Amino acid sequence: MATGRPHRPATRSRGIPEATVARLPLYLRALTALSERSVPTVSSEELAGAAGVNSAKLRKDFSYLGSYGTRGVGYDVEYLVYQISRELGLTQDWPVVIVGIGNLGAALANYGGFASRGFRVAALIDADPGMTGRPVAGIAVQYIDELETIIEDNGVSIGVIATPAGAAQQVCDRLVEAGVTSILNFAPTVLSVPEGVDVRKVDLSIELQILAFHEQRKAGEASPPAAPASIPSGPGAPAGAVVRGRDDAEVRAEARAGRDGDPGDDLPAVMPA
């Protein structure tokens, strides 16, 4: 059984902060689009705009990669694609298993974008015997009993959990026990893992809550609607919860900080669990 994960420092090996690591895929996506258009170089301002990050933060992030660009020319697009891909470990092929092949698991399996980003769906696993052998995205679903063998045979280190919340911890424990050291969790539950195992949690409802907060602010602060009793607020509220009852200056200051201060540190859809 897995034990609780102790506190981990906010920097990774080679001293690259986690917040920088979290922005590298944004740069890579923007750079890949430039590369596909055969754009040879890009300025920090242009790239920052395309990635939705402020340019000073981008320059700081790239300094961790040892990439400083050339004054008046900018950054070499192809070289940056290579540098970031290498830093993210995408220059090698990562076999991934998806556990729980329902609506979400099947949609993930059918997503064509993983392969071009260095991920190969090695196996699809489900606990419903009726699913066994059924092809999803051209891959036959395998029964959960095979999980350990599949992981070992394919050298899998990354697992995706798309089961109901009640099954997620048990699935997680089996994945970890079998040798998986990185987990992407879509189930709405907090997973407990031993030290050395990384968990990222995807929660689209948190993103929607954040958008609801911005919508409310855009609608004007004059007469905000009353908070429904079911939405928690105040200091103990979860990230993304709508917080009401503060004075206008405080809300505006926060809005400015969100726009100008540190846009790249907005809570991402994928977050550490």
Ligand X SMILES: NC(=O)c1ccc[n+]([C@@H]2O[C@H](COP(=O)([O-])OP(=O)(O)OC[C@H]3O[C@@H](n4cnc5c(N)ncnc54)[C@H](O)[C@@H]3O)[C@@H](O)[C@H]2O)c1
72 is known to lie in a ligand binding site: no
Give the C-alpha separation, 78 to 228, whole Å.
50
Give the C-alpha separation, 215 to 76, whole Å.
38
Q: Which long-range contacts (CB under 8 A, 24 or more apart) does 247-250 make?
A: 248/221
Nearer to ligand X, 28 or 184 (CB): 184
Residue 265 token pair: 């540190």
Residues 6+ apart with CB under 8 A from 209: 240, 241, 242
Q: Which 118-177 residues touch ligand X, going by CB under 6 A?
A: 126-128, 144, 162-165, 167, 170-171
For the CB of residue 129, give the shortest distance to ligand X in the complex, in Å: 9
Given 52, 102, 133, 261, the residue binding ligand X (CB under 6 A) = 102
Share of the chain residues as helix, strand and coil, in percent rounded to the nearest 5: 45, 15, 40
In the complex, residue closest to ligand X by CB: 102
Binding status of residue 27 toward ligand X by CB under 6 A:
no
Phi/psi zone of residue 167: left (φ > 0), alpha (ψ -120 to 50 degrees), beta?
A: alpha
Quick check: 99 and 35 in contact, CB under 8 A?
no
Given 1, 204, 226, 229, the residue binding ligand X (CB under 6 A) = 204
Nearer to ligand X, 80 or 106 (CB): 106
Binding status of residue 186 toward ligand X by CB under 6 A:
yes
> How many CB atoms within 10 Å of residue 43?
14
Binding status of residue 98 toward ligand X by CB under 6 A:
no
For the CB of residue 141, give the shortest distance to ligand X in the complex, in Å: 9
Nearer to ligand X, 137 or 167 (CB): 167
Nearer to ligand X, 28 or 106 (CB): 106
Residue 208 one-letter amino acid? L
Nearer to ligand X, 90 or 124 (CB): 124
100 is known to lie in a ligand binding site: yes
155 is known to lie in a ligand binding site: no
Quick check: 272 and 207 in contact, CB under 8 A?
no
> How would you class 172 by CB atoms within 10 Å of its CB: exposed for 0-12, middle for 13-18, buried for 19 or more?
buried
Binding status of residue 183 toward ligand X by CB under 6 A:
no
State the binding site for NAD(+). Answer: 100-105
Contact residues for ligand X, defined by CB under 6 A: 99-105, 126-128, 144, 162-165, 167, 170-171, 186-188, 202-204
